[in-house]
Structure 1
Amino acid sequence: MKFCTFSHPARGEMRPGVLTGDGAMIVDLGDSFPSVLAVIKGGDEALARVRDLHAKAEIRVPLADAKLHAPVPVPEQIRDSMLFEKHVQQAMEQIARMRKPLLGPLMVKMGMIKVPATWYNIPIYYKSNRFSVNGPEGIVQWPRYSQVMDFELEFGFFLGRGGKNIRPSEARNHIFGFTIFNDFSARDAQSIEMQSQLGPCKGKDFDTGNSMGPFLVTLDEIGDPYALRMQARVNGETWCDSNSSTIHHKFEDLLARVSADETVHPGEFFGSGTVGDGCGLEHGRYLKDGDVVELEVEKIGILRNRVMRQK
């Protein structure tokens, strides 16, 4: 199933919904559930109720007439990680070129810039601002303290079952579904912060900076999460065309790491980190005021946002 949070002219408030099989209509779940998060927390019983409502389809709204919001506007928690080796390697190389204009390119050419061994040993992650979630077609407000804005092509999962000390072999039983994630980044602020060995902070934490959507697709409909085409376009120009098969650390390993002696809860979001070639940093080029960024992940859809400088 494909869940969404939407609004429409007849009922202006945000409503939880699920797409019909042909993808043309939204079944309004708002009279049975207050939110998509409530469906997630409701477990198998809630999903059974949704299937019943989906079959009856008593209240339908044309998708074309609806305004989509982030599937879960305020997640219980956001953890973002770095699971793609190519992104980590290329980002480190580009940072070396920028910080050491004379020596950096030579170091890259000689293969001296290497991903730390720690990265290969454990999945690395940080906690992000769960209150700054944006949705499809939402405007991303370029923070006033930044001059260098970037996008990041990611996807991730919402936890459907909580737990602690979850084994990798059991992890998929805890996953509710997947959505696209654009972790917009103020690269100049991030660069300064990361030199302190603590962060990121304002490089990531600004209103509207975490964009998610357009749908939350259940695991059974996704199938293999490691066989999805991932694309990024800026103003229609393709900047990245990759695949989730290039992932190094699997989501199962990430969940096992996070839940080690730490209870995780339904409704928490776990991001994959950027796929290789999936951000401007890796290309040495960045966004401009008014640029439209489209992230597309197979079986999930297209997440589109425009970045705008604040006046």
Structure 2
Amino acid sequence: MRFVTYASPAGGDRVGLVVDDQVLGLEPRVTLLDLLDADDLAAAGERAATAPSETLPLEGLTLRAPLQPRSIRDCTGFLQHLRNCQGAADIPVDERHNQFPAFYFSNVAAVIGPHDDVAISPGSEKFDYELEIAAVIGRAGSNILLHRAESHIAGYLLLCDWSARDLQINEMAMQLGPAKGKDGANTLGPMLVTPDEIEPFRSRNAFDLGMAGYVNDELVSEGRWDSIDWGFPDMITYTSRGTTLRPGDVIGSGTVPSGCLFEHFAMNPDEFRGWLQPGDVVRLVVEQLGEIRHRVIEGEKPQPLSSGF
């Protein structure tokens, strides 16, 4: 099944089941997070399919983020991405990345929909996208065993971790994780796709599905999900150590190799196309999961601190 959250013509936002080119709406005032909490996703899909509250064409609907997550942990699943970036960031790839899928916590208040405008982070001149996949937790658990980890996944969606590279590098030189460099926007969408939909594409420790990123219709990023080093079972087992993952928590895959502008700058600065500018349109696509499309707009000016910075 494929679920979206959309602006209903009747008012308010609703969850809907996507069937071909139509959306079969559920009852009002029920969120996807409510359905995950109630372990009601499959039953909700049946209700929508048999007795929808409304039936609408998917094309032309205003889509929201499928859910507002309780937390976002973004992991380093694709190690080649780190290797591609290491020179320009002046941060060698630590050998411990081969021992566990490191992650950082991202900003749930910055989640936007799959077609919303994205403002450049205040003070940034090196704004970037990141082409990623996210797993949404559907069943709570702590200290989750590796062979049971996938049973905790409600579904998958695209994740774009928008990044201000100049701010990020400045912060991480202080041996801190990314803060304002990755605080402005996170895209989730366009839909939550349940695991059974992509099971036929299983390959290695992921799925044989293509990933692509375009800027102004120019193909910039191209990779495959099954090139990942740390699959979602390892990420879930690691992130659940000594804590509880809850329904609606989001686990990010990290960036697929070539899946951001920073990699291209790091590997071939002489032919670098440049950073994102106001008016640019970014389109990210993952086979079976759909696509997101965003227009980049001018950001706010940073308000100075007492230091003048």
TM over 0.5, yes or no?
yes
Q: 176, 182, 185: which is aligned to 2:160?
A: 182
Secondary structure in 2 matching 1:11 = coil
Pairs within 5 Å for 1:49-68:
49-68=44-63
1:177 offset after TM fit, Å? 0.2
Deviation above 4 Å: which 4+ runs of structure 1?
A: none
Answer yes or no: is the 8 Å Cα contact 2:27–2:53 preserved in 1.
no
Q: Which runs of 5+ in 1 are unaligned?
A: 97-112
State the Cα deviation string for residues 120-175 of structure 1 (Å, max 9, x = none).
Answer: 00110011110110111100011222111000000111000010110110011100
Q: Distance in 1 between matches of 2:258 and 2:281?
A: 18
Q: Distance in 1 between matches of 2:222 and 2:299?
A: 31
1:278 offset after TM fit, Å? 0.4
Q: 248, 251, 255: which is aligned to 1:270?
A: 251
Q: Distance in 1 between matches of 2:245 and 2:122?
A: 35
Aligned-partner residue type, residue 69 of structure 2? P
Pairs within 5 Å for 1:26-65:
26-31=23-28, 34-43=30-39, 45-65=40-60
Q: Distance in 1 between matches of 2:96 and 2:254?
A: 16
Pair 81,46 (structure 1): closer, same or farther in 2 beyond 3 Å:
closer
1:58 offset after TM fit, Å? 4.8
Secondary structure in 1 matching 2:142 = coil
State the Cα deviation string for residues 92-128 of structure 1 (Å, max 9, x = none).
Answer: 02324xxxxxxxxxxxxxxxx8532100001100111
Specify the alignment match of 2:289 in structure 1: 300
Aligned-partner residue type, residue 223 of structure 2? S
Secondary structure in 2 matching 1:131 = helix
Pairs within 5 Å for 1:163-242:
163-206=141-184, 209-223=185-199, 224=202, 225-242=206-223
Aligned-partner residue type, residue 77 of structure 2? L
Specify the alignment match of 1:6 in structure 2: 6
Aligned-partner residue type, residue 32 of structure 2? V
Q: Which moved more, 1:272-281 or 1:283-292?
A: 283-292
| Equivalent residues, number | 287
Q: Distance in 2 between matches of 1:255 and 1:310?
A: 35
Q: TM-score, normalised by structure 1?
A: 0.89
Aligned-partner residue type, residue 34 of structure 2? A
Pair 200,6 (structure 1): closer, same or farther in 2 beyond 3 Å:
same
Q: Distance in 1 between matches of 2:62 and 2:111?
A: 16
Specify the alignment match of 1:99 in structure 2: none
State the Cα deviation string for residues 239-286 of structure 1 (Å, max 9, x = none).
Answer: 111101110011100110111111110100000000000000001142
Specify the alignment match of 1:79 in structure 2: 73
Q: Which runs of 5+ in 2 are unaligned?
A: 266-273, 301-309
1:288 offset after TM fit, Å? 1.6
1:46 offset after TM fit, Å? 4.2
Specify the alignment match of 1:93 in structure 2: 87
Pairs within 5 Å for 1:105-184:
115-184=93-162
Pair 15,168 (structure 1): closer, same or farther in 2 beyond 3 Å:
same
Answer yes or no: is the 8 Å Cα contact 2:114–2:189 preserved in 1.
yes
Q: TM-score, normalised by structure 2?
A: 0.89
Answer yes or no: is the 8 Å Cα contact 1:163–1:259 preserved in 2.
yes
Q: 289, 307, 310: which is aligned to 2:278?
A: 289
- 2:299 corresponds to 1:310: yes
State the Cα deviation string for residues 29-81 of structure 1 (Å, max 9, x = none).
Answer: 133x61111112221x4422421331334521111231111111x21111111
Answer yes or no: is the 8 Å Cα contact 2:17–2:48 preserved in 1.
no
Q: Distance in 2 between matches of 1:186 and 1:11?
A: 38
Answer yes or no: is the 8 Å Cα contact 1:39–1:47 preserved in 2.
no
* % identity of equivalent residues: 36
C-alpha RMSD over aligned residues: 1.5
Q: Which moved more, 1:61-70 or 1:50-59?
A: 50-59
Q: Distance in 2 between matches of 1:261 and 1:140?
A: 35
Q: Distance in 2 between matches of 1:236 and 1:264?
A: 38
Specify the alignment match of 1:100 in structure 2: none
